[in-house]
């Protein structure tokens, strides 16, 4: 079978390897779609934490079940599925406290262990998600949407509150979608006007703000001078993170979905006087995946509008490099395999 390996930053290699045998407790999937996300792009650039090389990337995946361990979960050979691509130890303090998404020993496909840029992949059967008649494209979008849904849930977004989402990439757009579903008045912030227009047209955000054009005054005007009560950062950009307090109301909260390598800082008096709540959001749980599937099935979220670029697996090495350039206008690239 074909396997695409990132041997080191900036270097992919397409290999021919033996098809894996199904392992005990696993389902063997024939991969059909691979979504390309920031994790993959950063890994290729060499800026992704929690990472070692060589590595097979890919964790936004959908596929067909080829073999099963058992009938557990009512899964069937030939079924279209996606799966939760981070595998917890089920024993550490986080797992015991119902937070497997931040397991001490988590094994994330395409990050800590090899992922899905392959023809066939072993997946723990407990991680499978029923396709429920959705397309392979849609199923490959469940995981990135779950990241956004998780961030909104742990931020405890409330109806009619002003929520600022910084970063209008795929993860930020997912955050916006689920903040809207939660009933918030959503403000999208980015430095690219085309992305802001996309957020407004396709995801119905209430307001858009260009971070390069007097954002503090604009947010004051939108909120009647009170600023926002929740900020969810999907940029992973140090400057954007450190600017968050400028937009935050007293008593507000900040959740960071984006991830970057450098330390960041806030002025302690500004942080303190707001009694600011600061937290990070990592991965997602099965509850989040189920919520996403329900919202997609009911038409509350249209993920197809996010797919801006497509490629065939055999052409992916050259196409992947172009997606690193913002000028290509890529929102979400989907790779087809085994069609």
For residue 312, the SS3 value is: strand
CA neighbor of 131 nearest in space, from 190, 191, 70, 63: 63
In tens digits, the chain (339 residues) has pLDDT values of: 999 999 999 999 999 999 999 999 999 999 999 999 988 998 999 888 778 899 999 999 999 999 998 767 799 999 999 999 999 999 999 999 999 999 999 999 999 999 999 999 999 999 999 999 999 999 999 999 999 999 999 999 999 999 999 999 999 999 999 999 999 999 999 999 999 999 999 999 999 999 999 999 999 999 999 999 999 999 999 999 999 999 999 999 999 999 888 899 999 999 999 999 999 999 999 999 999 999 999 999 999 999 999 999 999 999 999 998 888 888 999 999 998
Spatial distance between the Cα atoms of 302 and 313, rounded to a whole number of angstroms: 25
Cβ burial of 54 (10 Å; 0-12, 13-18, 19+) is exposed
Every domain of the chain with CATH number 3.90.180.10 lies at 2-140+302-336
Q: Which CATH number fits domain 148-280: 3.40.50.880, 3.40.50.300, 3.20.20.70, 3.40.50.720?
A: 3.40.50.720
CA-CA distances (angstroms) from residue 101 to 9, 88, 173, 178, 182? 27, 7, 21, 19, 22
**What is the pLDDT at residue 198?**
94
Our CA dihedral for 26, 28, 33, 34, rounded to 10 degrees, sits at 50
43-90: pLDDT as tens digits: 999 888 778 899 999 999 999 999 998 767 799 999 999 999 999 999
Give the pLDDT score at 203: 92
- Which residues pair with residue 4 across a beta bridge? 14
Q: CATH number of the domain at 2-140+302-336, please?
A: 3.90.180.10
* Rg of the chain on CA atoms, in Å: 20
**Residue 62 gets which letter from DSSP?**
E
Beta partners for residue 189, in sequence order: 166, 209
**Residue-level pLDDT at 197:** 95
Query: By the 8 A CB rule, do 67 and 91 touch?
Result: no
CATH 3.40.50.720 location in the chain: 148-280
Helix, strand and coil in the chain, % to nearest 5: 35, 30, 35
3-state secondary structure 141-207: CHHHHHHHHHHHHHHCCCCCCEEEEECCCHHHHHHHHHHHHCCCEEEEEECCHHHHHHHHHHHCCCE
């Amino acid at each position: 079978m074909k396997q695409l390996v990132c041997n080191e930053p900036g270097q992919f290699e397409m290999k021919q390897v033996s098809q894996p045998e199904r392992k005990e407790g696993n389902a063997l999937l024939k991969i059909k779609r691979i979504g390309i996300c920031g994790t993959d792009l950063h890994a290729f650039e060499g800026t992704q934490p929690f990472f070692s090389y060589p590595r097979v990337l890919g964790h936004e995946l959908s596929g067909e079940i080829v073999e099963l361990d058992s009938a557990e979960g009512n899964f069937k050979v030939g079924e279209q599925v996606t799966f939760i691509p981070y595998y917890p130890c089920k024993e550490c303090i986080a797992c015991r406290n119902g937070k497997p998404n931040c397991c001490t020993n988590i094994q994330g496909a395409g990050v800590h262990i090899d992922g899905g840029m392959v023809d066939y992949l072993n997946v723990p059967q407990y991680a499978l998600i029923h396709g429920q008649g959705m397309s392979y494209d849609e199923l490959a979008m469940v995981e990135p949407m779950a990241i956004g849904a998780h961030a909104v849930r742990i931020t405890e977004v409330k109806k009619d509150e002003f929520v600022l989402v910084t970063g209008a990439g795929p993860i930020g757009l997912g955050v916006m979608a689920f903040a809207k579903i939660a009933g918030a008045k959503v403000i999208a912030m980015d430095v690219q006007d085309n992305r802001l227009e996309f957020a407004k047209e396709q995801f119905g955000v209430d307001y858009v703000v260009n971070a390069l054009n007097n954002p503090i005054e604009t947010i004051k005007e939108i909120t009647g001078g009170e600023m926002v009560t929740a900020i969810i950062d999907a940029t992973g950009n140090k400057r954007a993170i450190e600017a968050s307090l400028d937009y935050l109301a007293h008593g507000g909260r900040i959740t960071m979905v984006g991830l970057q390598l450098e330390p960041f800082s806030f002025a302690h008096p500004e942080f303190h006087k707001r009694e600011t709540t600061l937290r990070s959001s990592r991965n997602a749980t099965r509850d989040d995946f189920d919520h996403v599937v329900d919202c997609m099935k009911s038409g509350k979220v249209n993920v197809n509008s996010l797919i801006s670029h497509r490629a065939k697996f055999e052409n992916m090495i050259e196409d992947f490099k172009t997606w690193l350039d913002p000028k290509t206008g890529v929102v979400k690239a989907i790779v087809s395999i085994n069609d």
